[in-house]
Structure 1
Amino acid sequence: MQSRRDVQRKQDHSRAVHTLKWTLITVLVLILVVWSSLAIANHPKQAAQRQATQMARRYGHLTSTNDFYIFNREKTYYTVAGKNKRGQQTLVIVPQNGGDIHVVKQSKGISGQDAINKVKSDKRPKKIMKAAPGYFNDRLVWEVTYVNRRGSMCYDLINFKTGNYVQQIDNL
């Protein structure tokens, strides 16, 4: 015959196991929900990257790719950077909603790093968020997105060929 104390211990142990089981199930469900949400949120970007990369290989004759950019202004452009058959660094710029695909040799203008360095030198930002190529007013530009020293979001458009500022938007 079991004492009251033994019965109580078994009940306490059973409750602890039950609580632990439901806690683990809840944590696993939460992890699954978060993972699924992230996968769904990234799907449009991954689909755009996949399609733009296919077009870049076909029309820009890229044999390898090393970067993908999204540029959102008046229009959205997807850019795939890589090397063409001759080993030249090339940007293939694909409009989101159709239109002409632009194939540009990187050597014809400044690099994304050059654009970032210009903003760092001229503006001394707190943090650079990204640099992405695209078209603005029919000119190829680098858009450098950064946080200034006051904590405000800023965008600078820098002409791809000349390295000069085309537009500056501060303190958003």
Structure 2
Amino acid sequence: MKKGILITLAVVMSFVLVCSITLLTISQEPIKKAEKETIIIAKEAAGLVTVSDFYWYNRDKTYFSVVGSNKDDEEIMVIVTKDGGATTILNQDEFITEQQAKELTREAKGSVDILEARIGLEGDIPIWEVSYKEENGRLGYYVLTAKSGKWVSDIENI
């Protein structure tokens, strides 16, 4: 009797594990597809050779971005509009990095837990949107220009 219960439990747990892995894989497909398409566009538009980071920014519009280097070994950021595929190519040397955006947020917000940063466009201005968790557990978004790191907006207590 105990052996039968253990076998049934093992089968049920295996089924739950397989379903969970399948669900995770399926949920990641849109991100992987967007990344592949963005890399193809960035290779064609900017001569991207290597990719180090991928970002998905979604506010008024959705942008997919890749950071990497071109054939001249220059660090570039390529921002692609989801609708229409318009591209903006930025020379990384002229803009702050993700790490710098996170540090500027930490300096401005104090003791918050930085979650992630995404690059996108607000109008024609490249921006970093840094998400963070406050001590009270609430979420926030700190937005700064990618060019200078100047504060643009802050959404708190979400």
- TM-score, structure 1 length as denominator? 0.87
**Shift of residue 99, structure 1, vs aligned partner:** 4.2
The 5-angstrom pairing of residues 15-164 of structure 1 reads 15-164=1-150
**Partners of 2:3 and 2:40 in 1: CA distance:** 53
Number of residues paired by the alignment?
Answer: 158
- Structure 2: any 5+ residue segments left out of the alignment? none
Q: Which runs of 4+ in 1 moved over 6 A?
A: none
Q: Select between 22-31 and 148-157 the one with higher mean Cα deviation.
A: 148-157
Q: Deviations over 1:59-95 (max 9, x none)?
A: 1211110100011110010001101111111101111
Aligned to 2:151: 165
**Partners of 1:88 and 1:115 in 2: CA distance:** 20
**Partners of 1:166 and 1:121 in 2: CA distance:** 15
**Partners of 1:100 and 1:46 in 2: CA distance:** 19
**Partners of 1:171 and 1:151 in 2: CA distance:** 9
Judge conservation of contact 2:106–2:112 (CA < 8 Å) in 1: no
Q: Deviations over 1:69-127 (max 9, x none)?
A: 01111001000110111111110111111142111111111111111111111111421
Judge conservation of contact 1:125–1:146 (CA < 8 Å) in 2: no
**Shift of residue 149, structure 1, vs aligned partner:** 2.5
* Percentage of matched positions with identical amino acids: 28
Judge conservation of contact 2:133–2:139 (CA < 8 Å) in 1: yes
Partner-residue secondary structure (3-state), 2:105: helix
CA root-mean-square deviation? 1.2
**Partners of 1:143 and 1:106 in 2: CA distance:** 17
**Partners of 1:114 and 1:148 in 2: CA distance:** 19
Kindly name which structure, 1 or 2, has the bigger radius of gyration based on alpha carbons.
Answer: 1
